[in-house]
Copies of this chain bind each other. A is one copy, B any other.
Amino acid sequence: MFEQHRETLEKALSAIADRGYWSAYPESPSPRVYGEGAAERGKEAFESYLGKPFPIEQPGTGAWIGGERSPYGIDLGVTYPEPVIDDLIAAARSALPAWRDAGPERRALTCVEIVHRVNQRSFELANAVQHTTGQAFVMAFQAGGPHAQDRALEAIAYGYAAMTASAAEARWEKPAKGDPLVMNKRFTVVPKGVALVIGCNTFPTWNAYPGLFASLVTGNPVIVKPHPRAVLPLAITVQIAREVLAEAGFDPALVSLAVEEGRGLAKTLATHPDVRVVDFTGSTEFGDWLEQNARQALVHTEKAGVNTIVLDSTGSWRGMLGNLAFSLSLYSGQMCTAPQNILVPAGGIETDEGHKSFDEVAAGLAAAVSRLLGDDAKAVELTGAIVNPDVLARVDAAPSLGEVVLESRAIKHPSFPDATVRTPVIVRVDPGKEEVFGREHFGPIAFLVPTASTQESLDVLRRTITARGALTAAAYSTSDDVLDQAERAALEAGVNLSCNLTGGVFVNQSAAFSDYHGTGANPAATASLTDPGYVAGRFHVVQSRRPA
């Protein structure tokens, strides 16, 4: 079954080995690609969910709950089954043996079919992502749809590669006095147990799919616990997964949804003795709590960090400013990969347009952001809306942290009058105030920090990222020597580095199959999306041997 996906799986396996450009799912939301009327059908499908119980049937259903409100100012009114935990876990457990026995290949092809059907519903998902995260539509489509699907396929490929790196059967023939010793051996992949994926508010699909599919392909039933503000995209995903699994003859309880209204469900699930794998994206506080308390489980977390840009010099003043302005503005900086700390020598930098003082750099960046977001109607398609009141409160408080270089501006969304839209605030912070810029301020908040020199900037990068982690770092320099030093500092801090981005590649974007998202080598994450360390612990190999 699903033999048609063998080629996709093989291409994905090549892609994770080569790490050049490849993508399974087209990112363009155009009718040429996704078909005439696909956008309209997706919107209708999304709207059909509003104000109703979500169409999912799973064992262990208690009340129907839900309170999602779009950052664009619309109450979604969708309700979901509140789980009876022990029933949900029992159903997952009883679904496990048949899924384990299906073996790596059948599981992988079934997982690809799930992703394939998710892809077909990209417009529906884009609407759901837009109205739970506040992302602008095109971003919600790309990051919530094909990019997330590529990351899912990448995780499937890594899991499959890890499970099949060694033979599943072997004949062992050891020379001996007289007849050789001969044994037939069988090696079976066994999953760790029930897996839990804890979704986040800002990227419900992109950040949940790697864990979901890495666990599922390696044989673990998965309980998906979305963020209470971003349930719908994962509910749709779970629904699709259950549908495919049932069609393939498996128990749909292999993937189930656990929704909560209040707080505490994630803790209860994550520390349940039968839950053996936990994937989490979110705050450092809760990530650390999980690592400390979910001791019966393999825990992978992606947490906060202090993403850092080092400006030393540039061969493209305008390109650099434009690129940085875009990175700060995209989804109002509400990306775990968005830059926060921009370190600039107090004496300024050399550029293709001459020497620029620190103040000129600050003014140039402020102007670039203002220019980029000058037209309200266009601006909101870049910034989207502010995801929740916590982010808004941080934006409002940011000016008190230093000297304001660029004020945040409230924008009236032309289509959604109740949407909360804010442009980035840029604040100059003294290098001595590491207690300010040395921790994450999630949202459209950037700090410009004057340093004694690029050397000091690299020291700050190394020190703050070693202490607090980061998912991204970037450096701008016309000197190969400085770039090499930046690479070395990034290696030591264990952070992925982008150099001299002045065009259409941005520090906060990573491409599946090529760019690693996070490293595991600094406190911002325990592993990369996706690398061997992310998949290997999710399964074990149990062997059986008999004389031939």
Contacts and interface: CB of A to CB of B under 8 A. Distances in A.
Contacts of A491: 100, 188, 190, 542
B292 A544 contact: no
A545 B174 contact: no
A546 interface: yes
Given A20-B171, A511-B172, A547-B502, A536 B541 contact: no
Interface in A475-505: 483, 487, 490-492, 494-505
Contacts of A504: 176, 181
Interface residues of A, number: 71
Contacts of A19: 166-167, 170, 172, 185, 187
Given A19-B185, A172-B21, A505-B183, A543 B167 contact: no
A186 B487 CA distance: 10
Interface stretch (A65-73, A253-261, A351-359, A512-520): A512-520
A335 interface: no
A540 B520 contact: yes
Given A19-B170, A185-B515, A536-B537, A542 B505 contact: no
Nearest to A178: B504
A173 to B, nearest CB: 5
Contacts of A174: 21, 511
A12 to B, nearest CB: 13
Interface stretch (A141-149, A383-391, A525-533): A525-533
Interface of A: 16-21, 97, 100, 161-162, 165-167, 170-174, 176, 181, 183, 185-188, 190, 192, 291-292, 295, 483, 487, 490-492, 494-505, 511, 514-516, 519-521, 527-528, 531-533, 535-537, 539-547
Given A21-B173, A501-B547, A521-B540, 17 more contacts: A17-B166, A17-B167, A19-B167, A19-B172, A20-B172, A162-B532, A181-B503, A185-B514, A190-B491, A190-B494, A494-B540, A499-B546, A500-B547, A505-B545, A515-B545, A519-B540, A533-B536
17 contacts: A17-B165, A18-B167, A19-B185, A162-B536, A172-B511, A174-B511, A181-B504, A181-B505, A292-B295, A497-B545, A498-B546, A499-B545, A501-B547, A502-B547, A515-B543, A519-B543, A528-B541
